[in-house]
Structure 1
Amino acid sequence: MSLLFKQLRIHQVFGANTDVGKTILTSALVRASAAAQHKVFYLKPVSTGPMQDADDEHVKRYAGAHGGLVDAHCLYRFDEPLSPHLAAKMAAEKSGLQDAEVPSDSTFVAAVASHIRRSASSVTQKAHMYVETAGGVHSPTLSGTTQLDAYRPLFLPTILVGDSRLGGISSTIASYEALQLRGYAVDSILLFRDEYYRNWEYLTPYFAERGVRVDALDPPPPRDADEEKNFNLTEEYYTAVVPEAGGGLFEIVRHLDDCHARRLAELESMPARTLDTIWWPFVQHGLVKGPADVNVIDSAWGDYFTVFNGHTAPARATPASLLEPQLDGSASWWTQALGHAHPALTLAAARAAGRYGHVMFPQATHLPALKLAERLVKDGPGKGWAARAFISDNGSTGMEVALKMALRAYSVRHGDELAPGERKKMGVLGLKGSYHGDTIGAMDACEEGVYTCEWHDAKGFWFDPPTVAIRDGRTVISLPPSLAEDDRAGAMEADSLAWVYNVPGRLDTPLAERYRAFIRTTLQKLEARGGPPLGALVLEPLVMGAGGMLFVDPLFQRVLIDVVRSRGTARDPSSWSGMPVIFDEVFVGLYRIGMQSTAPLLGVAPDISVHAKILTGGLLPLAVTLASDAVFRAFEGESKATALLHGHSYTAHAVGCEVANETLDVVERLASGDAWTSAREAWGGSEGHAVGVWSFWDPAFLDVVSKASVVDDVMTLGTVLAIRLKDVDAGYQSHSAQTLLKSLNTSIASEEGTAAPGGAPFSIHFRTLGNLAYFMTSLNTPAATVRAVEDRIWAVLDRAGA
């Protein structure tokens, strides 16, 4: 990941095109840095063409009188003067290797990062480094990936060499915008002063408005065929642009130094400034001891944050780099689907922002929203039952929309049966431990708990559900006291995890009948007792996240739905009966737990479902509430008052909808890819496996962790891993999981040597819910990364139990 050193200022040099003078201008910068008595490192990661034309050789040749301070290197050198991806492919073919043996992006970036770290470790005084890329910003690297994406994990401050030729204004601006779209910080733009096209005259004020400095330098003389004469002419040129008396190039070098110093100063100031102004969510500020407790995220890429450690260095050994990778072990509160800063999602956001900005949506349409609604209703989680999509801004809002839909549908059908005032008192039926968001209405759909507030008014009844986990290598269904028989321990060993999730095969079992009888009896008692009517069944299918990563026995949820629906008569076969059923799939939906929707596994479809988080790949907030036609018709009429009067200013904002469509495109490709197939096969299934439960976490790892002396139980589905620790004071307010696993926050390499992009050791950022720690991958997290995290977790648990 990104590297930052106090003593070594690094800049990466990109070109607006090929042959724009990157090497000439970079050589001038190297020479100016050396003339200012700084040690200078020059790195050309990839060089193609004859050795005599190599850029690193050019830098050495024209380093000038202070050449002893210059260290120039090339990492990958190819003889053919071609694009790096072709040159690497041809070299592999000549050696009898296959395309797959061309260095991957991760190998390539690790080599660059390793060279940078070695260079930094060799200096104690202020030094400079320039990393020169090849061709234009989108020229391919060895693997064929565009340079902007391949180098992005390093996130190095950038110098853009503009194009001084005809068309250069456009290519320079386009290159700058391409860099911006991927988050690069452009500190300087350099180009030659062409007196005919005069591009610098236009570009200087253009970029000044954007806070970027532009400098134009005289161009070098034409290359002379006589090598000795050419050397003398070129040396005279460098002497002129880097005079011993100082001048323009030295001012540019000072500007780059100032940019480096400002970045360091800002990062160092951020912890204290944060403690002065920010009110964090879900954080007890009274437990925050000082700046060292602030996690400063400088950037993010893929599965990793890049965090600043300069404010924590006094408490531990000072690392070589002030930035280090930290695995985003909670997928940033369950939002990340494709890793951070995914280029396709970023471009989708820019595409929609450029076309629409934001446009109001009532009685209007635009293509991103329409496409999203159609694919979710017809081909996505709503396939076969949903008729409409209501697009809002986040999961909590989406759930409030769902509650409005369900309660209105119930009151319209049962209006004649409701006593005066009962419509305003209707409640919901659900499960203990459920959580549907932090807005007041969503809170009211849950029982009293740690997430509720003074205004909270729990409206409904919540069953204590049976749960599933792996304990001491065995799959166990834990029954609450209300379902346990004869005061015996409420734990039943299951045949296997696959058996537990084979819901149709369990519907005729004695346990299913016990569930039915208990649910019917409970509902009958509630009716006999009187009180406000229940107008909706609200479920987090399979996994209740914020309530403690509770993996509910799917059979219980299926039987609950069946019993509720059997207590009423639908007006037509496609309509709801009993009460509308809401699936809150904000957390579990869209493959977070390995399936697009939980409905096929449960064997029943909801009447309303809510989707968010993964929907936009974690890039920005968006939620969609899907509803059946029967629910939609409950709002249809001649009066505006009977419409669904819910919305916000950014309803169906085009940027979010476009990003959601792009996310779903990428996810669908992943779902049929080799990585998912391999993970399914490890769990005894394949893409067409009937049961459909699997995980990215290894089954052997789950087995061994479940037997650890400090572990109560573990569970996994899809990307989610939950580890519950033994703790007599178990509960949300327990600190046991955070305390026992805190060493994961320390940056080390795994025992297998797996490291973050760039080859750096990494720490793990994870979240806890009392005595439970959970970890979560993205949908495209490499298997090697998952294995490395497993190694780290097991090492900590093993030490704790020793």
Structure 2
Amino acid sequence: MSHLYRHLRIHQVFGANTDVGKTIVTTALVRASALKNNAVFYLKPISTGPLHDADDKHVKRFAGPNQSLVETQCLFRYDEPVSPHLAVKMASRASENAVTVPSDRTFLNSVAQYVRSCARKCPAGHMYIETAGGVHSPTLAGTTQLDSYRPLLFPTVLVGDSKLGGISSTISSYESLLLRGYAIDAVILFRDHYYRNYEYLSSYFATRGLRVLSLDPPPPRLDNHAQNAEITEAYYAKLVPGGLDGDIFEAVRHLDDCHTRRIEELDTMPRRTLDTVWWPFVQHGLVNSETDVTVIDSAWGDFFSVYERASGSPSKTISNQNSLLSPQFDSSASWWTQTLGHSTPSLALAAASAAGRYGHVIFPEATHLPALKLAEHLVNEGPGKGWASRAFFSDNGSTGTEVALKMALRAFSAEAVPAMTPVEKQNLGVIGLKGSYHGDTIGAMDATKESTYSCEWHRPKGFWFDPPTVSIKRGKLAVSVSNLMPTSVPSTHHFNSLDALYDVEGRLSSSLAEAYRLFARQTLQAFICAKEQKLAALMLEPIVMGAGGMIFVDPLFQRVLVDLVRDVSLFSTPLPVIYDEVFTGLYRLGLESAIPLLKANPDISVYAKMLTGGTLPLAVTLASDRIFQAFNGESKADALLHGHSYTAHPIGCQVANETLKLIGGLLQKEPWKAAQIKWSTDAKSRSTIWSFWEPSFAHAVSHLDIVEEVMTLGTVFTVKFNGDNTGYASHCARELLRSIKGVADDGSRSSTFGIHFRTLGNTAYFMTSLNTPREVIEEVENRIWVTLDAQNKGKL
């Protein structure tokens, strides 16, 4: 991840094209930094071409009078003067032994390791990391430099192009850097007095608050090496004079100032945040100091880059030479939104493309391609395939569920026989499960039983069953039946595999299914006979109830409820069924939807969260034709009068289309196959119900005495702790896992990152993205295990 040191200022030098003078500009910056008596480190991660022409050799040779303060290094060197991705292949063909192409991970680890070693060497200094070619030139594995270097996210100097066409290439390079989150501190280019690109670019970037510095161009290169070296040294001596005055020193001062301002900004963010921000789901009275505020400088993949103010506090001595930025695994997937990790380049480009083409455009009685394509995919190919006829857009999961409620209640009212009175319509209720949560807006809250999330206006409307739950206890996969069930029904039912437990259709003929039917029917009949309220819909979070405590529900019970509300012997008008898949849908649990698992189509379903890959809010509510026709007519008053200013905003729709495309490419890849095989009872087959988390890890944690139960599906792993029944207000899980937040040596092996986690009372949960590398999951598992095992031994 990113590196930031209080004592070592680092800048990465990108070029707007090849042959724009990156090495000359960087040499001048190195020379100027050394003349100011700084230790200077120059890194050329990849070099191609003859050794005598190598950039690191050039920088060292012309580093100036204080050359002894300058260290130069190249990490990967190849003889052929071609693009790095070709140079490494050519080296392999030329060698008797195959040359392994370093992966992006290996390449970045090498760069990061060198940066850390430099930070340990000096009390104060500058570092310049020079790239090869243009911003989109490939690195060794073929990934473009912009994307390959992006996890490190060093502040950037862009060397502009002073030649014909250079205005375009410089602006294009700037925009490419900007789209990927790079901070561009300066643009530097040569003063060509014919094309005068520097004049236009100075004006262009000034309106964007970006400093442009121009330098005298170097002399033409001579064939005679000795003469060429002589005139080159004279050029640098003039460009970087001993008097420490001139454009290049202005550039160095500016880069120093950018570094200082960045740290000052990060230093003050906790206090400013505590003074001005009201956080959601946070009791501010429990946030006792600035050190409780997590300052996220950037994010990439599954990680935050977190500013560790304490480790670099001005009160500390300069001997503390650790990076001020630490990687933290985003184990809540940023409130369940992350699909493919943070800052996925193709999603950023999709958003930029739609923003540039549309911005936002009004949607009623209009259409645009991003929204139309998304609706068609979700209805005809995605979770709506075979039952949905329409897609209704809204702006987040909570409003998406409110739309679903409006749809369901209207449809029920339109079909009810005899017709209901206005008072009855206003008092319609839903059937659901205790612990369900459909959002924070008032209507969504009214569709749940009263809970910690309720507010003063909350008026629960409906009936909620205490559901049977699924978990792994002491290594055994089991369904625990609610205490409200008849005593004749065993309290626990064990299963040999996830496939067996989630084989809903196969379990429909079981004695437990019959017990569910009898219990649910009798309970609903009693409620109906009381005539306190008409029930108009069934609303479920399929498989897992998220915010209620990561409650894994027996899917058989949910299927029984779906069948019952459609039984005309119980309800003369079949109740519309809503699946709230805001959290669980779109492969969060390894399945696109719970519909194929439950083997029962809803009338309405809701999708959000993962829909846009964690980039921005968007929700879609799918509905069957039955529901749509309840609103279809000649009167405007009969229409679904619900909408948002940003309904079907093109940016979100375009990003969602790209997200679904990327997900589709993951489904048959090796990490998914490997995980599915591990959870199968047959080593040669792939389980249909599976998890990215290791079975052995889940079983081992479930055996700890401090643990009541664990459960895992798809990307989700949850652990519920013993000994604290205060519910959501409990701090049990948070305290037991507090130590995993930071990077530490946990006794088993040193961790390379911390883990940012969220808890729900005495339940902690962890999530991966759909493409989290196996080695990252293993390190998270190891950190959780070592921490809980130590806590467990402390309790004995």
Structure 2 CA distance for aligned equivalents of residues 689 and 409 of structure 1: 44
Cα 1:570–1:358, aligned 2, differ >3 Å: closer, same or farther? farther
Report how far residue 490 of structure 1 moved.
2.4
Cα 1:349–1:689, aligned 2, differ >3 Å: closer, same or farther? farther
Contact 2:724 2:730 in 1 (8 A): no
Deviations 1:377-399 (A, max 9, x none): 00000000000000110000000
Report how far residue 338 of structure 1 moved.
0.5
Deviations 1:440-483 (A, max 9, x none): 00000000000110000100000000000000010111111111
2:423 aligns with 421
Q: Counterparts of 1:229-628 in structure 2 under 5 Å?
A: 229-245=227-243, 246-311=245-310, 320-414=322-416, 416-486=418-488, 490-567=491-568, 578-628=574-624
Aligned amino acid, residue 387 of structure 1 = S
Report how far residue 484 of structure 1 moved.
4.7
1:639 aligns with 635
Deviations 1:555-574 (A, max 9, x none): 00011111111136999xxx
Structure 1 CA distance for aligned equivalents of residues 221 and 311 of structure 2: 52
Q: Counterparts of 1:174-213 in structure 2 under 5 Å?
A: 174-213=172-211
Which one of the candidate residues 135, 138, 141 is aligned to 1:137?
135
Contact 2:101 2:141 in 1 (8 A): yes
Secondary structure of 1:378's counterpart equals: helix
Aligned amino acid, residue 331 of structure 1 = A
- Larger mean Cα displacement after TM superposition, 669-678 or 632-641: 669-678
Structure 2 CA distance for aligned equivalents of residues 570 and 30 of structure 1: 80
Deviations 1:7-48 (A, max 9, x none): 110000000000000000100010011111111100000000
- Larger mean Cα displacement after TM superposition, 412-421 or 430-439: 412-421
Contact 2:677 2:684 in 1 (8 A): no
Structure 2 CA distance for aligned equivalents of residues 687 and 354 of structure 1: 50
Secondary structure of 2:20's counterpart equals: coil
Contact 2:480 2:491 in 1 (8 A): yes
Contact 1:291 1:311 in 2 (8 A): no
Cα 1:145–1:749, aligned 2, differ >3 Å: closer, same or farther? farther
Secondary structure of 2:418's counterpart equals: helix
Q: Counterparts of 1:73-152 in structure 2 under 5 Å?
A: 73-95=73-95, 101-124=100-123, 126-152=124-150
Structure 2 CA distance for aligned equivalents of residues 732 and 749 of structure 1: 31
Counting matched residue pairs gives: 789
Cα 1:93–1:753, aligned 2, differ >3 Å: closer, same or farther? farther
Q: Does 1:777 align with 2:771?
A: no
Deviations 1:605-647 (A, max 9, x none): 1000000000000100000000000100000111000000000
Aligned amino acid, residue 582 of structure 1 = I
Cα 1:146–1:690, aligned 2, differ >3 Å: closer, same or farther? closer
Cα 1:733–1:148, aligned 2, differ >3 Å: closer, same or farther? same
Aligned amino acid, residue 230 of structure 1 = N
Secondary structure of 2:728's counterpart equals: coil
Contact 1:159 1:186 in 2 (8 A): yes
2:790 aligns with 799
Contact 2:295 2:307 in 1 (8 A): yes
Deviations 1:314-373 (A, max 9, x none): 799956011110110110010000000000000000000000000000000000000000
Q: Does 1:46 align with 2:46?
A: yes
Deviations 1:406-427 (A, max 9, x none): 0000000016342341011101
Report how far residue 402 of structure 1 moved.
0.3
Contact 2:720 2:762 in 1 (8 A): yes
Structure 2 CA distance for aligned equivalents of residues 199 and 570 of structure 1: 76
Which one of the candidate residues 647, 654, 657 is aligned to 1:651?
647
Cα 1:484–1:767, aligned 2, differ >3 Å: closer, same or farther? farther
Secondary structure of 1:438's counterpart equals: coil
Contact 1:589 1:598 in 2 (8 A): yes
Report how far residue 90 of structure 1 moved.
1.8
Between the two proteins, what is the percent identity of the paired residues?
60
Deviations 1:582-615 (A, max 9, x none): 0000000000000001000111110000000000
Deviations 1:753-780 (A, max 9, x none): 686xxxxx21000110111100000000
Contact 1:396 1:442 in 2 (8 A): yes
Q: Does 1:727 align with 2:723?
A: yes
Contact 1:601 1:692 in 2 (8 A): no
- Larger mean Cα displacement after TM superposition, 676-685 or 294-303: 676-685
Structure 2 CA distance for aligned equivalents of residues 489 and 563 of structure 1: 22
Deviations 1:75-129 (A, max 9, x none): 1000011100111122233345668x311111111111111111011111x3110
Report how far residue 691 of structure 1 moved.
6.2
Deviations 1:301-323 (A, max 9, x none): 00000000014667999560111
- Larger mean Cα displacement after TM superposition, 243-252 or 352-361: 243-252
Q: Which consecutive unaligned segments of at least 5 residues does structure 2 have?
A: none
Structure 2 CA distance for aligned equivalents of residues 744 and 379 of structure 1: 41
Report how far residue 687 of structure 1 moved.
13
Deviations 1:637-663 (A, max 9, x none): 110000000001000000000000000
Cα 1:96–1:766, aligned 2, differ >3 Å: closer, same or farther? farther
Cα 1:432–1:312, aligned 2, differ >3 Å: closer, same or farther? farther
CA RMSD in angstroms comes to 1.9
Contact 1:750 1:789 in 2 (8 A): no
Contact 2:724 2:762 in 1 (8 A): no
Structure 1 CA distance for aligned equivalents of residues 685 and 607 of structure 2: 25
Structure 1 CA distance for aligned equivalents of residues 683 and 667 of structure 2: 8
1:214 aligns with 212
Which one of the candidate residues 695, 701, 706 is aligned to 2:702?
706
- Larger mean Cα displacement after TM superposition, 240-249 or 316-325: 316-325
Contact 1:62 1:238 in 2 (8 A): yes
Secondary structure of 1:40's counterpart equals: strand
Cα 1:272–1:58, aligned 2, differ >3 Å: closer, same or farther? same
Report how far residue 539 of structure 1 moved.
0.2
2:34 aligns with 34
Structure 2 CA distance for aligned equivalents of residues 305 and 211 of structure 1: 27
2:713 aligns with 717
Aligned amino acid, residue 785 of structure 2 = W
Aligned amino acid, residue 407 of structure 1 = L
Cα 1:475–1:535, aligned 2, differ >3 Å: closer, same or farther? same
Contact 1:754 1:788 in 2 (8 A): no
Aligned amino acid, residue 170 of structure 1 = S
Deviations 1:660-710 (A, max 9, x none): 000000001011211111111111179997962100000111111111111
Aligned amino acid, residue 88 of structure 1 = V
1:671 aligns with 667
Aligned amino acid, residue 441 of structure 1 = G
Structure 1 CA distance for aligned equivalents of residues 742 and 560 of structure 2: 46
Contact 1:306 1:323 in 2 (8 A): yes
Report how far residue 248 of structure 1 moved.
1.3
Cα 1:637–1:801, aligned 2, differ >3 Å: closer, same or farther? same
Cα 1:687–1:144, aligned 2, differ >3 Å: closer, same or farther? farther
Structure 1 CA distance for aligned equivalents of residues 262 and 569 of structure 2: 65
Structure 1 CA distance for aligned equivalents of residues 164 and 88 of structure 2: 31
Which one of the candidate residues 732, 738, 757 is aligned to 1:736?
732
Contact 1:754 1:785 in 2 (8 A): no
Cα 1:297–1:6, aligned 2, differ >3 Å: closer, same or farther? same
Which one of the candidate residues 151, 154, 159 is aligned to 2:152?
154
